[in-house]
């Protein structure tokens, strides 16, 4: 069981701002939050404020089980509260602005249907078509058309699918082999 009372007092001593909510507001309020393990941002999520400590969303990701044990100290930072659509839109913008996606915000390498994308020209590997498309400034639909053979090149580059379990599977997306 999580005991937060001591931590809350320490946060108050450090001048951290707190926002008051009624029970009705907590039941319907969505939030954007960061999940940190040590000094690593592992997830940027959206969920109901009332579900924040149960971590329903990150637990759906297959890599969560591998990364986080019950003894792993985690920090949760609430970045924004508001409506569901507003939070989802802001979260998408926040993910685009990050230099690298947190590991739990990428397709799970444990999912056998997930395949990664490699740029033949520079050797960089990405965890999804969307991530590769964003990195090269092309539309995800065009990336899909290229990978399925309907387009010969994409932005002057050639891409291929890297199957799950391949020896080219990198530890981190975007790294060069």
pLDDT tens sequence across 39-53: 888 888 888 877 877
Look at residues 55, 84, 101 and tell me which one is the last residue of a structural domain: 101
Q: What domain range is 37 assigned to?
A: 19-101
Q: Residue 25's pLDDT is what?
A: 67
Calpha distance 14→22 (Å, rounded): 24
For residue 14, what pLDDT is reported?
53
Question: Given this model, what pLDDT does residue 76 score?
Answer: 87
* Average model confidence (pLDDT) across the chain: 75
57-77 pLDDT, tens digit per residue, is 777 666 676 677 778 888 888
Between β-strands 30-37 and 40-48, what pairing exists: parallel, antiparallel or unpaired? Answer: antiparallel
Listed in sequence order, the DSSP H helices in 14-83 are 23-28, 56-59, 62-67
* CATH number for the domain that contains residue 32: 3.40.1440
Residue 47 lies in a domain: yes
Is residue 5, in this structure, part of any structural domain at all?
Answer: no
> Interhelix angle for 129-136 vs 140-147, to 10°?
120
Q: How far apart are CA 71 and CA 122, in angstroms?
A: 40
Mean pLDDT of all residues in 151-175: 72
56 and 72 co-located in one domain: yes
Do 30 and 75 fall into the same domain? yes
Inform me whether the pLDDT recorded for 11 exceeds 50. Answer: no
Which string of DSSP letters, residue by residue, matches 87-124?
A: HHHHHHHHHHHSSS--GGGS--TT-TT--EEEETTT-B
139: CATH: 1.10.10
């Amino acid at each position: 069981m999580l005991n937060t009372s001591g931590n809350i007092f320490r946060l108050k001593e450090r001048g951290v701002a707190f926002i008051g909510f009624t029970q009705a507001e907590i039941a319907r309020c969505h939030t954007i939050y960061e999940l940190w393990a040590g000094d690593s941002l592992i997830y940027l999520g959206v969920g109901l404020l009332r579900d924040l400590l149960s971590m329903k969303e990150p637990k759906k990701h297959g890599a969560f089980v591998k990364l986080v044990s019950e003894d792993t100290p985690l920090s949760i930072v609430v970045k924004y509260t508001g409506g569901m659509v507003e939070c989802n839109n802001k979260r998408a913008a926040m993910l685009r602005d990050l230099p690298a996606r947190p590991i739990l915000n990428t397709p799970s390498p444990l999912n056998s249907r997930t395949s990664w994308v490699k740029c033949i020209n520079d050797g960089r590997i990405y965890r999804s078509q969307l991530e590769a498309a964003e990195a090269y400034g092309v539309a995800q639909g065009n990336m899909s058309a290229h990978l399925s053979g309907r387009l010969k090149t994409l932005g002057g580059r050639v891409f291929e699918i890297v199957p799950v379990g391949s020896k080219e599977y990198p530890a981190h997306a975007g790294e060069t082999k």
